[in-house]
Amino acid sequence: MTRAVLSIGSNLGDRLAHLRAAVASFGDTVLVVSGVYETPPWGDAEQPAYLNAAVLVGDPAAAPRDWLARARAAEAAAGRTRDPERRYGPRTLDVDVIAVWDAAGEPVLSADPELTLPHPRAHLRAFVLRPWIDIEPHGRLPGHGWLTDLLNAEPLASDALELSPRPDLALESDT
């Protein structure tokens, strides 16, 4: 079985509905979903706040590129368009493949520009690390270390203070 951690975020339209649709699009591969966090925009401050979460998925038949294809399909279903002039601009849905582990539990490493694993900037983003800690409190980002250590190190410690947990927003139903 391959497992993957996905980071999902939305700051346009019905943000919560976009996140819920993304989780639903992964179907039975969803193992666990984090809580929702409201976060300031990253990289381009001139846009609305995001809702962010993390999803742990698993599928015995999925290769790393399959997770990328599923992420892109979820984005397309949400009407995501990419603006080449504004790399960190607003979006209906952003789904990033953060890390993948093979059937033996070993991290998959890739330098492919289309799917770099682990995600090359995950260790710099509190909005990725904090939700991931919800679902894997003792998790490690391959090549970088413990999630909690990364989140508590500067400069992320100050970024983490800007994340607002949203326990009033659930991504999955209890039924």
Catalytic annotation, residues: 80, 91, 94, 96
Q: How many CA atoms lie within 13 A of 76 on its CB side?
A: 6
Q: Which residues pair with 167 in a beta bridge?
A: none
Residue identified by tokens 């508590």 is: 152
Q: Is 76 exposed, middle or buried (0-12, 13-18, 19+ CB in 10 A)?
A: exposed
**Strand pairing partners for 95?**
8
Q: How many angstroms separate the CA atoms of 72 and 130, rounded?
A: 23
- In angstroms, the CA 110 to CA 119 distance is 9
Angle at 77 between CA 75 and CA 80, to 5 degrees: 45
